[in-house]
Amino acid sequence: MRCRWVISAAIAGAWAFGTAFAQPAGQAAGDQAAAADTSKLSVKLETLQNGVPTAIFGKDSPVEVIATVRVNMPNLSIANVQLALDVAEDVDLENPESATISALSVDNGGGGGYALQASAAPRARLRFVAPEGKTGLSGTQMAKWTIAFRAVASRAPFSVTAAMMVPPNPQIIAQRRDEVRINVQSVLSVKELWVDGGIFMWPLGACLVLGIAFALERLWTLSWAKINAEKFFDRISAAIREDGNVNRAVEICDKTRGPVASVMREGLLRVHQGIDHVERAISSAGAVQASIMQRGIIVMASVTTIAPFFGFLGTVWGMIIAFKAIAEAGDVKPTIVANGISQALITTVAGLIIAIMAQSFHNIVISRINRIVIDMEETSTLLVDLLLEEKLDRQDAKQVAETAKA
């Protein structure tokens, strides 16, 4: 029994002796292992647009991405933390065609706010240092990226990974990750559609400008030319019945705007030549006025026809771009053909919208012209009947000529 106790005591003493002498030799490794076991590293990812937290962004709109790193390392005096942003496979942050990082700022927690970094990249480097004479890291630092996403990413995992290292050892002793599901949407603004539509948006834009310009000019002109034909004829009729001649009626026509008054004037000036000449004068004047009112109609009709052709031409060009991208990549992925197909669809939609607008304006203008033409015809018919009723179909030529000269 006593022998067993002596053997156990000898084994325990030998283990304690070996541990005491082995500890200085592995001090660094032991400290690092202890740090790995007891370290506390956390990272939080936030995304903001216009100062409002959100995970839904507009394409090409500035977005602020803020990563907050919290460190509590009781066994370390200095450490570096590298932050890395990543957006799965939807967007490549290092590719300017997918995203543009315009600024990277770091707040080291000293109360000075964010400091702009020399390089704007998906990776940021933070440095934590314990107060002088103390061992143990405890603090918070923040990194802020200003990013404009140029590629659409629907429900993509946007993540930030924080990896801690103790210099000069490159080994990672602690690592944390946070993730936000983002949705980068195309806002469909006029500017974005114009850029994505490619070169064929320029002729389509020219068609749009021409169509709207001629439509507005015609609408304004026809609105000015439109008068109340019924009231106008009542004034003409009253003047003829009271005076027994067409002098006052011609004066009323001279003071009234529009094609109806012009046509009536031409007829009244031929009263002394007979009803046949009155009707021919009215017919000729009506044809001239109708031709004047139809100025610009051919432009709107041309826009209606040409705009869809430019749109379809852009569609074919977009498909050529898509197939060319497939040939160059040697693979078929949505991101590869997205630009070409987007251009194809945008130009098609633009061409159809412009054609619909031009056709609508064309129909409105034609309907207003038709209403004015009907007013001219009805008023002219009433004028002829009035002249026959008042027996003025053989008015004194000298009297009418003097009126016209005046």
List, for residues 333-351, the tens digit of each pLDDT value: 666 666 778 778 889 999 9
| CA-closest candidate to residue 268, choices 226, 232, 292 | 232
Mean pLDDT of 359-363: 94
pLDDT of residue 150 exceeding 60: yes
3-state DSSP assignment of residue 394: coil
Q: Which of 51-65, 241-255, 329-343, 346-360 has the lowest mean pLDDT?
A: 329-343
Mean pLDDT of 77-87: 91
Q: What pLDDT sits at residue 132?
A: 80
pLDDT of residue 20 exceeding 70: no
pLDDT of residue 17 exceeding 60: no
Rounded to 10 degrees, what is the CA torsion of 261, 262, 265, 267?
A: -110
Q: Which of 34-38, 153-157, 319-323, 327-331 has the lowest mean pLDDT?
A: 34-38
As a whole number of angstroms, the distance between CA 129 and CA 81 comes to 11
pLDDT tens digit sequence for 178-233: 999 988 887 667 777 787 788 889 999 999 999 999 999 999 999 998 889 899 98
Mean pLDDT of 366-387: 91
pLDDT of residue 37 exceeding 60: no
As a whole number of angstroms, the distance between CA 310 and CA 347 comes to 8
Mean pLDDT of 362-377: 93
Structure tokens at 349: 């939609």
As a whole number of angstroms, the distance between CA 330 and CA 335 comes to 13
Q: Kindly write down the DSSP assignment for every residue of 104-166, as one continuous string.
A: EEEE-SSSS--EE-S---SEEEEEEEPPTT---EEEEEEEEEEEEE-S-EEEEEEEEEEEEE-
3-state DSSP assignment of residue 289: helix
Q: What pLDDT sits at residue 11?
A: 36
Higher per-residue confidence, 73 vs 89:
73
Q: How many CB atoms lie within 10 A of CB 263?
A: 28
pLDDT tens digit sequence for 244-283: 778 888 888 988 988 999 999 998 888 888 888 888 999 9
- CA angle, residues 13, 15, 17, in degrees to nearest 5: 70
Beta bridge partners of 103: 146
Q: What pLDDT sits at residue 276?
A: 87
Ranges for all domains in the chain classified under CATH 2.60.40.10: 27-187
pLDDT of residue 141 exceeding 80: yes
Mean pLDDT of 290-295: 90
Phi, psi of 40 (to 5 degrees): -130, 115
What's the number of CA atoms in the CB half-sphere (13 Å) around residue 405? Answer: 6
Structure tokens at 333: 């992925």
pLDDT of residue 388 exceeding 50: yes
Pick left, alpha or beta for residue 111 (phi over 0 → left; psi -120 to 50 → alpha; otherwise beta).
Answer: left
pLDDT of residue 332 exceeding 80: no
Confidence bin at 170 (pLDDT 50/70/90): confident
pLDDT of residue 38 exceeding 60: no
Confidence bin at 394 (pLDDT 50/70/90): low
Percent of the residues in the chain that have a pLDDT greater than 70, as a whole number: 84
- CATH entry 1.10.3720.10 includes domain 27-187: no
Q: Which of 56-60, 105-109, 174-178, 206-210 has the lowest mean pLDDT?
A: 56-60
3-state DSSP assignment of residue 395: coil
The whole-chain average pLDDT of the chain stands at: 82
Q: Give, as one character, the DSSP assignment of residue 57.
A: E
Distance from the first to the final alpha carbon of the chain: 153
Cβ contact 267:285 at 8 Å: yes
Higher per-residue confidence, 186 vs 92:
92
Sign of CA dihedral 239, 245, 250, 251: negative
Q: How many CB atoms lie within 10 A of CB 101?
A: 18
Phi, psi of 100 (to 5 degrees): -125, 120
Q: Which of 132-136, 172-176, 242-246 has the highest mean pLDDT?
A: 172-176
Mean pLDDT of 71-76: 87
Alpha-carbon 321 to chain mean position: 22
Instruction: Tell me the one-letter amino acid at 8.
Output: S
| CA-closest candidate to residue 102, choices 55, 57, 149 | 149
pLDDT of residue 111 exceeding 80: no
Dmax (CA) for the chain in angstroms is 162
As a whole number of angstroms, the distance between CA 184 and CA 48 comes to 13
- CA angle, residues 4, 10, 12, in degrees to nearest 5: 105
Cβ contact 71:49 at 8 Å: no
pLDDT of residue 6 exceeding 70: no
